């Protein structure tokens, strides 16, 4: 067992609450030679003696018999007292001792032990009761900043100790930090249950505690399967070696259900190094987290050090900034819905549909396109929030326009996570009813990948909305390996050809043949065809000749704010490329004026 022993109060601690101050009070008020607190889960102990000789006496008695009696008190949850402790049968009395358990939330956390020499006063029941009161105080103060599952510090305790170290350290003092999490813990929870997942978390906590070097090093369980470690006076190379040792110890174990197969466990870590004068805790943890996510991208079960020249880390760092802007836009309702026409190529009497596209407005009032934040939104799992915001904003604007004009037919993209959200369908139907949106005016676009993620749930989702008149389009058709299977298994009304078939349709005979074949198949199944990325009149005309019914792209109409599109339709003005949007000031629902123009 690794132990941390101290004789006096730690610098920077809170005297009235520190373990050492409680031990000192025990000795002075009860007249004891020495006192010690043992915390088995944290693999640590603290000892206080009235003198150097008393301190040495307590350590000697602990090593011979004190630890054993402390374990008995912890296991039985009852005090253990003796005034005639002998180390050998028939020998002389070695010491007088009382051990009481430290009972905290979740059970015994350790033991409080007091010693007297053989010639000093004996302990009585009154002493045991008074010691019990000190034990309750010590249990509270020693465990209030600890995580109950791992025995590591909670975030509050961790932050307090970091701040204390920083105050007492020279600005140039070196410090390194680690951020780690358990790889694919959710699979372990799904396969063998959350109780086994908790055991994995606890085992990782043990591995982290064993790795800590020196009394100044400490660790924290941030939440769930996420950890951070604070390592004063260690350089980046030493920190990496320590993290690799944790990885090896964690990977050496496995978890399984009763009689089931073993499931490998691993951790990924990110490391960062800095100085006390530049220790901005949140920033350093964020950098270590970026390195940790890079380690996961590069294979998991490994360690990466943060480098501001590493392109993958730069990209992740940028995404963290982007996702902050997206969350801010969602919170302040700085979501703007744009619309791009999907126009008929052959039968111009057919109505135009408008695909709705999301934009956000940043803190400076600039419009940010989806391409600039969608990757980060996907990685940080906020697509369902964005989809709800788009639907809500679009329904509000459509509802207002329907008071003076016929409903506009719109097409809205839904992400895979949104389709898998069990609460989204009911929310959507409620929103449609709230704003009076007729299902026959809606088309929802889904991708093959989104459908493949949960086919049964997607089918149920589509059936329910189809009963309300809603139609569905399969977006990016032809990019997956099972495109034809989706046409068979899903009630699809429209397919939207991926741009890879369209961009070179003028020059590539194979693209022309594929488009022609898709048109024949769609016509036979009664499915409408739409070509995306129609960016020239030549491409538009060739697609029409091949039988594509609708087109979408800059050659047919650029995206513009939905409110402008609705106004244009209300004025019965020509649409698309024949009526470009003019520059004007637009005010968001949160009251932020912005200037936009399309060119």
Please write the tens of the pLDDT for every residue from 465-480.
999 999 999 998 877 6
Q: What is the CATH number of the domain that holds 226?
A: 3.30.70.270
What gap in Å lies between CA 46 and CA 552, rounded to an integer?
73
Let me know if residue 265 belongs to a domain: yes
Q: What is the CATH number of the domain that holds 99?
A: 3.30.450.40
pLDDT band for position 177 (50/70/90)? very high
Quick one: average pLDDT of 164-193?
Answer: 88
Mean pLDDT for all residues in the chain: 83
What gap in Å lies between CA 337 and CA 318, rounded to an integer?
24
Query: Containing domain of residue 116, as a range?
Result: 19-143
Structure confidence by residue, pLDDT tens digits, 84-115: 888 777 678 888 989 988 876 656 678 889 99
Are 464 and 558 within one domain?
yes
pLDDT band for position 319 (50/70/90)? low
The percentage of residues in the chain with a pLDDT greater than 90, rounded to a whole number, is 38
Q: What is the pLDDT of residue 469?
A: 95
Are 340 and 428 within one domain?
yes
- Contacts (Cβ under 8 Å, ≥6 apart) of 492: 472, 473, 474, 486, 527
Is 50 exceeded by the pLDDT of residue 244?
yes
Is 60 exceeded by the pLDDT of residue 373?
yes
Q: What is the pLDDT of residue 6?
A: 38
Is 80 exceeded by the pLDDT of residue 273?
yes
Of 119, 70, 77, the C-alpha closest to 94 is 119
pLDDT band for position 359 (50/70/90)? very high
Considering the entire predicted model, what is its pTM?
A: 0.56
Q: What is the pLDDT of residue 534?
A: 94
Is 60 exceeded by the pLDDT of residue 3?
no
Q: How far is CA 216 from CA 49, 169, 179, 233, 427, in A?
A: 22, 12, 17, 9, 51
Is 70 exceeded by the pLDDT of residue 250?
yes
What gap in Å lies between CA 34 and CA 56, rounded to an integer?
9
Are 265 and 324 within one domain?
no
Quick one: average pLDDT of 565-580?
Answer: 62
Are 300 and 172 within one domain?
yes
Q: What is the pLDDT of residue 580?
A: 40
Quick one: average pLDDT of 2-30?
Answer: 56
Q: To 5 degrees, how large is the angle CA 391–CA 392–CA 396?
A: 115
Let me know if residue 595 belongs to a domain: no
Lowest mean pLDDT among 245-259, 341-355, 500-514: 245-259
Across 448-558, the runs of DSSP E, i.e. the strands, are: 471-477, 494-497, 528-531, 550-551
Is 90 exceeded by the pLDDT of residue 258?
no
Q: To 5 degrees, how large is the angle CA 186–CA 190–CA 195?
A: 85
What gap in Å lies between CA 107 and CA 40, rounded to an integer?
13
Are 327 and 430 within one domain?
yes
**CA 265 from chain center: how many Å?**
19
- Contacts (Cβ under 8 Å, ≥6 apart) of 233: 173, 174, 175, 214, 216
Structure-token match 């149920």, residue found: 460
Let me know if residue 150 belongs to a domain: no
Residue, of 43 and 409, whose pLDDT is higher: 409
End-of-domain residue from the set 307, 338, 368: 307
Let me know if residue 537 belongs to a domain: yes
Sign of CA dihedral 27, 29, 30, 36: negative
The percentage of residues in the chain with a pLDDT greater than 70, rounded to a whole number, is 84
Let me know if residue 148 belongs to a domain: no
Q: What is the pLDDT of residue 44?
A: 64
Is 70 exceeded by the pLDDT of residue 271?
yes
Quick one: average pLDDT of 210-221?
Answer: 79
Is 80 exceeded by the pLDDT of residue 71?
yes
Residue, of 205 and 376, whose pLDDT is higher: 205
Are 102 and 165 within one domain?
no
Q: What is the pLDDT of residue 337?
A: 95
Let me know if residue 452 belongs to a domain: yes
Are 499 and 361 within one domain?
yes
Are 361 and 501 within one domain?
yes
Let me know if residue 312 belongs to a domain: no
Are 78 and 122 within one domain?
yes
Structure confidence by residue, pLDDT tens digits, 48-65: 888 889 988 988 888 887
End-of-domain residue from the set 143, 177, 199: 143
End-of-domain residue from the set 307, 334, 362: 307
Q: What is the pLDDT of residue 531?
A: 95
Q: What is the pLDDT of residue 443?
A: 96
Quick one: average pLDDT of 425-444?
Answer: 95
Q: What is the pLDDT of residue 442?
A: 96
Q: How far is CA 363 from CA 324, 368, 585, 586, 594, in A?
A: 11, 11, 17, 15, 11
Are 169 and 124 within one domain?
no
Let me know if residue 599 belongs to a domain: no
Are 274 and 359 within one domain?
no
Number of domains in the chain: 3
Is 80 exceeded by the pLDDT of residue 504?
yes
Strands 335-344 and 550-551: antiparallel
Residue, of 529 and 454, whose pLDDT is higher: 529
Cβ–Cβ < 8 Å for 22, 99: no
Are 271 and 206 within one domain?
yes
């Amino acid at each position: 067992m690794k132990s941390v022993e101290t004789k006096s109060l730690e610098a920077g601690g809170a005297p009235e609450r520190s373990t050492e101050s409680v031990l000192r009070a025990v000795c002075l008020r009860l007249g004891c030679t020495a006192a010690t607190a043992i915390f088995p889960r944290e693999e640590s102990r603290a000892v206080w003696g009235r003198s150097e000789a008393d301190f040495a006496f307590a350590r000697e008695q602990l090593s011979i018999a004190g630890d054993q009696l402390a374990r008995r008190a912890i296991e039985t949850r009852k005090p253990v007292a003796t005034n005639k402790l002998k180390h050998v049968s028939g020998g002389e009395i070695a010491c007088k001792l009382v051990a009481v358990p430290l009972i905290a939330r979740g059970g015994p956390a350790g033991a409080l032990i007091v010693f007297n020499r053989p010639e000093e006063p004996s302990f009585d029941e009154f002493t045991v009761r008074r010691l019990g009161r000190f034990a309750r105080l010590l249990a509270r103060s020693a465990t209030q900043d600890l995580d109950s599952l791992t025995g590591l510090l909670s975030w509050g305790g961790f932050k307090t100790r970091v701040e204390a170290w920083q105050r007492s350290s020279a600005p140039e003092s070196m410090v390194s930090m680690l951020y780690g999490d358990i790889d694919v813990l959710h699979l372990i929870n799904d396969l063998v249950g959350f109780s086994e997942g908790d055991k994995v978390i606890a085992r990782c906590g043990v591995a982290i505690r064993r790795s800590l070097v020196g009394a100044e090093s400490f660790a924290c369980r941030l939440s769930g399967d996420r950890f951070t470690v604070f390592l004063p006076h260690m350089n980046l190379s030493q920190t990496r070696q320590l993290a690799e040792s944790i990885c090896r110890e964690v990977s050496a174990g496995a978890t399984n259900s009763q009689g089931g197969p073993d499931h490998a466990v691993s951790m990924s870590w990110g490391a960062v190094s800095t100085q006390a004068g530049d220790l901005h805790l949140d920033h350093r943890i964020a950098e270590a987290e970026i390195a940790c996510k890079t380690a996961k991208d590069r294979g998991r079960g490994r360690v990466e050090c943060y480098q501001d020249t590493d392109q993958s880390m730069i990209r992740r760092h940028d995404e963290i900034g982007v996702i902050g802007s997206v969350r801010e836009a969602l919170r302040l309702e700085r979501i703007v819905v744009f619309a791009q026409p999907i126009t008929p190529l052959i039968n111009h009497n057919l109505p135009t549909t408008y695909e709705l596209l999301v934009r956000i407005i940043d803190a400076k009032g600039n419009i940010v396109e989806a391409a600039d934040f969608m990757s980060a939104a996907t990685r940080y799992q906020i697509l369902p929030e964005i989809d709800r915001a788009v639907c809500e904003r679009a329904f509000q604007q459509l509802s207002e326009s329907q008071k003076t004009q016929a409903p506009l037919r719109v097409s809205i993209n839904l992400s895979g996570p949104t389709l898998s959200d069990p609460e989204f369908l009911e929310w959507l139907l409620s929103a449609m009813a709230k704003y009076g949106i007729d299902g026959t005016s809606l088309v929802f676009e889904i991708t093959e990948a989104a459908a493949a993620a949960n086919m049964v749930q997607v089918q149920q989702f589509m059936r329910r909305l189809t009963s309300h008149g809603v139609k569905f389009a399969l977006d990016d058709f032809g990019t997956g390996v099972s495109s034809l299977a989706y046409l068979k298994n899903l009630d699809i009304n429209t397919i939207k050809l991926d741009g890879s078939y369209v961009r070179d349709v003028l020059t590539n005979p194979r693209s022309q043949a594929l488009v022609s074949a898709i048109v024949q198949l769609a016509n036979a199944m009664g499915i409408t065809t739409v070509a995306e990325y129609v960016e020239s009149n030549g491409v538009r005309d060739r697609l029409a000749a091949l039988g594509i019914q609708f087109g979408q792209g800059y050659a047919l109409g650029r995206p513009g704010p939905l409110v402008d599109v609705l106004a244009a339709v209300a004025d019965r003005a020509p649409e698309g490329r024949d009526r470009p949007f003019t520059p004007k000031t637009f005010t968001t629902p949160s009251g932020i004026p912005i200037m936009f123009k399309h060119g």
